[in-house]
A = this chain, B = another copy of it.
């Protein structure tokens, strides 16, 4: 059944879970509809069709199948996970935009902001409707906890932004919130649905958590390392004054002159031509990029190690390959 053209591990997993995934696609379309407010699927379709890799819902499907689940509720949960992810993307847009544009936005922009807020809320509510259909209070607990953690991570990121005192500890709290919490919940609920042992549920959670952290650390590194694969421009985080791991490492190792540079560019937002190049130079000199890469590799290795507790299965091998692939983006 494997798609011959699928070389990347998440594509192989997608081919393996093809039938489940097409049911998820169908459910996404059905549940984002609104009888009373046709504007809702218009806004959502844009995001949902743009596609992404459906990585998070795929993790839920894979976990459930890996644990021998034979029912149909993993489709509901995978759809719920994708809705939560899409809702946070919509709200992130508002959060990031409002940072850049002060004063009154244009009518067009205004409409976008309104739609993003409300349609995000709609998807969030829909995701909880879907979860109730899976008939498991524990699943609802895990996913509502994850939702709270996601938001805490985003708020923490806001308050930590532009703060040169941000520690690696704070950085990882933010990353756990904004990325790893949903990965971990996505894998965990597959195991809960299948009714496996607490050890295996924990292993699934820890795999998702470590994978999510590796994923985000790589993303933050690619912002400096080479942005083509992510669709971001090199230096976006620097310009937005986000304190990501490479910068935090470089700041900690810098001398007074470098500290003044970070203070000017990140705290005081006085950025000039050549500053991004200078930032890269400083980070390279202190080995901050290499050490961030090592951290990403370490988290990917931790993710793979968690899989030992789970049954041997082609899906398990693909999940392991996905952990490798996440950091292979750095090569």
For the complex, what is the distance from the CA of A154 to the CA of B114, rounded to whole Å?
10
B113-A98 in contact (CB<8A): yes
On chain B, the residues within 8 Å of A98 by CB distance are 112-114
* Chain B residues within 8 Å of A151, by CB: 118-119, 121-122, 125
Copies assembled: 2
Contact indicator A132/B144 (Cβ below 8 Å): yes
Residue A173 at the chain B interface, CB threshold 8 Å: yes
What does DSSP make chain A's interface, helix, strand, loop or mixed? Answer: helix
Q: Which residues of B contact A128 (CB under 8 A)?
A: 128, 140, 144, 147
> Cβ of A158 and Cβ of B91 under 8 Å apart?
no
Range class of the A interface residue count? 35 or more
The residue in A34, A121, A137, A140 that gathers the most chain B C-beta atoms within 10 A of its C-beta is A121
Contact with A124, one of B121, B126, B153 (Cβ below 8 angstroms): B121
CB-CB under 8 A for A159 and B37, given A125-B151, A141-B129, A147-B128: yes
Say which residue of B36, B117, B148 sits within 8 Å of A94 (CB atoms): B117
Per the 8 Å Cβ criterion, residues 172-221 of A in contact with B are 173, 177
Q: Tell whether A135 is near chain B: CB-to-CB under 8 Å.
A: yes
B contact residues around A150 at 8 Å (CB): 121, 125
| Neighbouring B residues of A135 by C-beta, 8 Å | 137
Write the A94-120 contact mask toward B (1 if CB under 8 angstroms, else 0).
110111000000000011111101111
The answer to whether the Cβ of A40 comes within 8 Å of any Cβ in the partner chain is yes
Interface centre among A113, A117, A159 (most CB of B within 10 A): A117
A164 CB to closest chain B CB, in angstroms? 18
Residues of B within 8 A of A119 (CB): 151, 155
- In the assembly, what is the distance between CA of A158 and CA of B173, in Å? 37
B residues within 8 A CB of A153?
A: 36-37
Q: Looking across the interface, which residue of chain B has its beta carbon closest to that of A176?
A: B36
Question: Lowest 9 A-B CB distances belong to which pairs?
Answer: A125-B147, A128-B144, A37-B155, A125-B148, A122-B151, A98-B113, A121-B151, A95-B114, A129-B144
Q: Is A152 interfacial (CB-CB < 8 Å)?
A: yes
For A133-168 the 0/1 string (1 means CB < 8 A from B) is: 001010011001101101111111011000000000
* Interchain CB contact (< 8 A) of A145 among B112, B120, B129: B129
B91/A39 in contact, CB under 8 A = no
B118:A154 contact, CB within 8 angstroms: yes
Which of B40, B88, B152 contacts A40 (CB under 8 A)? B152
